[in-house]
Amino acid sequence: MEDTGKRIEELLEKPYWLIDIFPKRIGSKNADIYFRTEEYYQEKKRSQCIRKRFLEFLLRLNCYHRFVILDAETEKEVSDPGPEELEECFLGQWERPKTFCFLFQEKESMICFRTDDLYMTLYQPDKELLDMCALCAAGQGLYVWEDEKEASGS
């Protein structure tokens, strides 16, 4: 686990993209409607629908790029997860929010998901992985985008 923890910490410092229900960052002039919309989507029934879309995205992506699931709280790892293990990450019931990391086995990249967020974060994808993420996301009505602030280094 020590190597995995070190790998995760290193990846958290790398460039990232968001896998999101929105196609790009929402500007400050529309922040008020964004926050109301975010509250709307975070209602239990609606957020569960979004988590199901994330689940479908990762089920498909895992067929092309294998990963290991790491529960950031318990440090439990699941190699080559099946649909049931993935489903537990997105649709399980927890007393408080949890964070899961999906570490790609053949790439220096990962996806992180916190169960109370409306997005996932993709760290350091190469072009092949980024392209496949975009395809799998589009099939679920999700968007993959790089934050302009991250891209410009500001």
- pLDDT for 91-124, tens place per residue? 887 788 999 999 998 999 999 999 999 999 999 9
150 band by pLDDT with thresholds 50, 70 and 90? low
Across 53-78, average pLDDT? 94
**∠ CA 82-85-15 to the nearest 5 degrees?**
90
Do residues 21 and 143 touch, judged by C-beta distance below 8 A?
yes
pLDDT, position 127? 97
* Structure tokens given for 58: 């990762």
Closest CA to 86 of 69, 72, 101: 69
Beta pairing partners, 78: 69
Helices (H), 19-126: 31-42, 44-62, 83-91
User: What pTM did the predictor assign?
Assistant: 0.91
Question: 47 exposed, middle or buried (CB, 10 Å; 0-12, 13-18, 19+)?
Answer: middle
The SS3 assignment for 106 reads coil
Do residues 90 and 51 touch, judged by C-beta distance below 8 A?
yes
